Amino acid sequence: MAFDAFFNDIETADLKPINMAELKLEAAPVDSERRMGYFPPMGLWQTVTDGGQTVLLCDFASAGAHGTDYVGWLPASHVPPPPTALTIPADGTVGAPGPVLFRWSPTGAGDVTYELVVAKDAAFEEVVVREGGLEGHYVTVRTGLEEAGAYYWKVRSANAYGAVDNRGGPRTLQVDASAETPFFAIGEDGLLLASPLEGDGTPSSGVCTLQEGLKPAPDRHGRADGAVAFSGPGSKLRYAVPFFPERDYSFEAWVCPEGLPVSGIQQVFSAWCRGMDDPLRVTLDGDSVFARIEARRMYGTSGAPLQNGTWAHVAAVKDGPKLTLFVNGKAAHSAAVPEHVYSASTDVGIGYNPLFAGGEHFVGSVGAFAFYARALSAAEVAARHEDG
């Protein structure tokens, strides 16, 4: 439906919100007392706006036929939330016992809270998890899903004017002690991925999907197997993430490059997905390290020089509209970037670009790394460098 000034005594700019909690539509005759001109509408309906004013709405196809101003999006009040859509885990996902990340699409309204409900039955009579009052659109459940078997889950959106379950019905997941991989999860401190890289890429948090051509290497403390060595094109280390954070995120690692200055570029961390979709890369270019983002265009910090055979703690922190490169606990350079970066990236590479044919392979050693779905503070980065 639409509001057309031709059928009303007010202009579109004067239209008051329609109260959705008390909405009533009454059919109005097209041949009523108002002249319809040469283009009568297919239908007219009468309703009342906040404050008690009566207005007429016509079918959208007929709106504007007489050259008058009209609107198809109508202001409203007392609006219940729209249903959300479930995204993670995918329906039927099987994982090992442990924390489980649940994620759904946001409604886009600031007054909405969410309730996650998980049960052992489709009727939701045997509820094992109920997380209410959630303001974000994901949560990691840490207890209640230890027992093997099938579970059903749904999300209910609510505000002061109503509540509604997600569209598409509930999804299922299967907890299986013999499953090779865990469910995706986010740590209480926002941790998405981490590995000590003590001779290989085994994660302490998250899911490793590929490791090839890696060799144990001495770390910054001299421990023989305390890091991993990347020798170029044959070395690959890749991890999966359930989604890439949109606003705030951080990466940190201990890096010891070889062969500087490099020809072309080498990736310490790469989330490149496709052209102009790269939410974060930590890159060696020439003799320096840079933090960069591709989101419709290129953004990046200036470079900070590194030295061959010398360990450096490198961090890239995106805090809303600001991307900061830290080296050895200190902010080296910052750049203005989009506050929100919407990316399809779900694969990240350590020491190479996992989706680019050229690979952009790193040569040198990498020690412990971590990737967070939040912005580390400058004090936190400094403390991590100091603590080693």
Q: How many CB atoms lie within 10 A of CB 122?
A: 12
* Per-residue confidence (pLDDT) for residue 152, from 0 to 100: 98
Is a pLDDT exceeding 70 seen at residue 379? Answer: yes
What's the chain's average pLDDT? 95
How far apart are alpha carbons 88 and 95 in whole angstroms?
13
In tens, the pLDDT along 258-278 reads 989 999 999 999 999 999 999
How far apart are alpha carbons 273 and 18 in whole angstroms?
44
Backbone angles phi, psi at 119, to 5 degrees: -140, 165
For residue 138 the two structure tokens come to 């994901």
Q: Do 92 and 86 meet the contact criterion of CB atoms below 8 Å apart?
A: no
Do 314 and 234 lie in a common domain? yes
Do 201 and 316 lie in a common domain? yes
Residue with tokens 């400058």: 378
Average pLDDT over residues 238-243: 96
Do 158 and 233 lie in a common domain? no
How far apart are alpha carbons 241 and 196 in whole angstroms?
18
Whole-angstrom CA distances from 203 to 191, 288, 323 are 12, 28, 26
Q: Are strands 76-77 and 18-19 parallel, antiparallel or unpaired?
A: parallel
For residue 302 the two structure tokens come to 């200036």
Flag whether 186 is in a domain.
no
Flag whether 184 is in a domain.
no
Do 153 and 60 lie in a common domain? no
| Residue 108 neighbours by CB under 8 Å, 6+ apart | none
Structurally, the chain folds into a number of domains equal to: 3
In tens, the pLDDT along 159-180 reads 999 999 999 999 999 999 999 8
Number of residues written out for the chain: 388
Do 236 and 299 lie in a common domain? yes
Do 45 and 106 lie in a common domain? no
Amino acid at site 141: V
Amino acid at site 374: R
For residue 81 the two structure tokens come to 């939330």
Q: What helix, strand, coil percent values describe the chain, rounded to 5?
A: 5, 45, 50
How far apart are alpha carbons 362 and 178 in whole angstroms?
35
How far apart are alpha carbons 137 and 53 in whole angstroms?
38
In tens, the pLDDT along 277-331 reads 999 999 999 999 999 999 999 999 999 999 999 999 999 999 999 999 999 999 9
2: β partners = 58
CATH number for the domain harbouring residue 350: 2.60.120.200
User: Could you tell me which of 27, 53, 54, 24 has the C-alpha nearest to residue 41?
Assistant: 27
How far apart are alpha carbons 180 and 334 in whole angstroms?
41
How far apart are alpha carbons 44 and 2 in whole angstroms?
10
How far apart are alpha carbons 385 and 107 in whole angstroms?
39
For residue 265 the two structure tokens come to 């570029």
| Residue 344 neighbours by CB under 8 Å, 6+ apart | 273, 274, 277
CATH number for the domain harbouring residue 120: 2.60.40.1220
Whole-angstrom CA distances from 72 to 19, 53, 61, 67 are 16, 19, 10, 15
In tens, the pLDDT along 181-232 reads 999 999 999 999 999 999 999 999 999 999 999 999 999 999 999 999 999 9
End of a domain among 45, 77, 109?
A: 77
Do 233 and 294 lie in a common domain? yes
Do 201 and 347 lie in a common domain? yes
pLDDT band per the 50, 70, 90 thresholds, residue 109 = confident
Q: Which domain holds residue 133?
A: 86-175
How far apart are alpha carbons 50 and 21 in whole angstroms?
11
User: Could you tell me which of 186, 95, 192, 207 has the C-alpha nearest to residue 140?
Assistant: 186
Flag whether 182 is in a domain.
no
Which one is predicted more confidently, 32 or 356? 356
Backbone angles phi, psi at 322, to 5 degrees: -130, 130
